[in-house]
Amino acid sequence: MNMDHTTVTSGVTQTDKRRRRTTELMIAAAGILLSLLLIVVGRTYGDYFYVASYVVLQFVLLATAWNVLGGYSGYVNFGSAGFFAVGCYTTILLGKLFDAPLAVCVPAAGIVAGLIGLGTGYLSLRLRGVFFSIATLALAVMLQTLIVNWSYVGGARGVYVLRPDTSGPFDSYVQLLAIVMCLMATAAVIVAVVVERSWIGFGLAALRDDETAAEAAGVPSLRLKLIATTLSGFLMGVAGAPFPYYITYVDPASAFSLAIAINTIAMPLIGGTATWWGPVVGALLLGITQQVLTVTISSAANLLIVGVLLVIFVAVAPNGIVGLVRKFRESRR
């Protein structure tokens, strides 16, 4: 059995805390460095670089968000497109009501999606395994039905969202979107590290291994799961918030897209769900591959490739790239 699966919920040692802080600092530095790199490299390659980076980073954020619940606690969420769309439509609603800027829409989208995550947790966490997964799928369908019938936010017809004028140090709005997404993805990964290496992560890992045993040992299962659903929902909502400005015309089919639902699950599974870096690697690998395929093979084979990779990894490397790397290290010892 994987070591992470057997980690006990005992207190976090000072060494653990130091290690965690170092990792957090390294991720923050990497995020800032990547943002700067985006600015420099983007100037050479043009807006295409920002557009492609935005999509890949959006998937880093979504995969990390999914992993906080699905990876650490083992509760598989099939409704990620629903949470993403909630973020997206919060931006649209706030834009229509108050002409709210992106800086307001992002946290607001996170809060709304987080609250929906909390509500879902309360209602459905009595369900385990596949039953919980079906409930999350139903949630996404319910949310989509709500949006389709809410004409103020565009309803089934969809809605146009005009990008604000570019201001400040940014050359174009898509550059700003890419950098915002980079910073948000960095923050999400830091959140994942904090969760993973704190009592929350240890508790969730215990629940994933054997929920009944964990509860018997005193792990506060409901509280932990609610923290995970809320955090995961918050991060997915945040990921959806800038999407209307990226795409400029949003209809329910785009916001509740199958590609988002599938990629969000496939990326952590391919990268590996046990650690914070599994989803990041999975999202980078699949996201970049898909971006390259869109403009080379150029067809809907994208999702097929995700499916094939998923089947290969489930069959050959059930613990994802993380598992492969660990096995490789062990074999060299």
Classify residue 82 by burial, with Cβ atoms within 10 Å: 0-12, 13-18, 19+.
buried
149 binds other proteins (CB under 8 A): yes
Q: Which stretch binds other proteins (CB under 8 A): 65-73, 90-98, 110-118, 241-249?
A: 241-249
Query: Least distance (Å) from other proteins to the CB of residue 30?
Result: 21
From the CB of 331, what's the least distance to other proteins, in Å?
6
The reply on whether position 321 binds other proteins by CB under 8 A is yes
* Cα distance between residue 227 and residue 69, in whole Å: 9
Interacting positions 251-290 with other proteins (CB under 8 A):
251, 254, 257, 259, 285, 288-289
- Contact between 137 and other proteins by CB under 8 A: the answer reads no
Torsion, CA 124, CA 130, CA 136, CA 141, rounded to 10 = -130
- Residue 209 or 251 having the CB closest to other proteins: 251
Closest by CA to 66, choosing from 287, 312, 280, 306, is 280
**Residue nearer to other proteins on the CB measure, 129 or 318:** 318
- CB within 8 A of 96, min separation 6: which ones? 152, 153
Which one of residues 24, 118, 324, 326 is an interface residue with other proteins (CB under 8 A)? 324
Cβ 38 to other proteins, closest distance in Å? Answer: 14
Q: Which of 202, 246, 256, 277 binds other proteins (CB under 8 A)?
A: 246
Q: How far apart are CA 71 and CA 265, in angstroms?
A: 10
Report the alpha-carbon angle 187-189-194, nearest 5.
95
Q: Which is nearer to other proteins, 47 or 215 (CB)?
A: 47
Rounded distance, CA 66 to CA 276, Å?
A: 11
Tell me 329's DSSP state: H
Where does residue 167 fall: left (phi above 0), alpha (psi -120 to 50 degrees), or beta otherwise? beta
Asked if residue 2 binds other proteins (CB under 8 A), the reply is no
Nearer CB in complex with other proteins: 88/214: 88
The secondary structure element, H or E, covering residue 159 is: strand 159-160
Separation CA 9–CA 232 (nearest Å): 21
Burial class (CB in 10 A: 0-12, 13-18, 19+), 183: middle
Residue 83 binds to other proteins (criterion: CB under 8 A): no
Contact between 311 and other proteins per CB under 8 A: no
Options 163, 211, 220, 326; binder of other proteins; rule CB under 8 A: 163
Site size for other proteins (CB under 8 A): 53
Examine residue 198 and tell whether it contacts other proteins (CB under 8 A).
no
Chosen residue from 160, 210, 218, 314 binding other proteins by CB under 8 A: 160
Contact pick of 29, 30, 123, 156 for other proteins (by CB under 8 A) = 156
Phi, psi of 280 (to 5 degrees): -65, -45
CA distance linking residue 89 with residue 30, whole number of Å: 31
User: CB 163 → other proteins: shortest distance, Å?
Assistant: 5
Chain positions contacting other proteins, by CB under 8 A: 45-52, 55, 148-149, 155-158, 160, 162-163, 172-174, 246-249, 251, 254, 257, 259, 285, 288-289, 291-302, 309, 312, 316-317, 321, 324, 327-328, 331
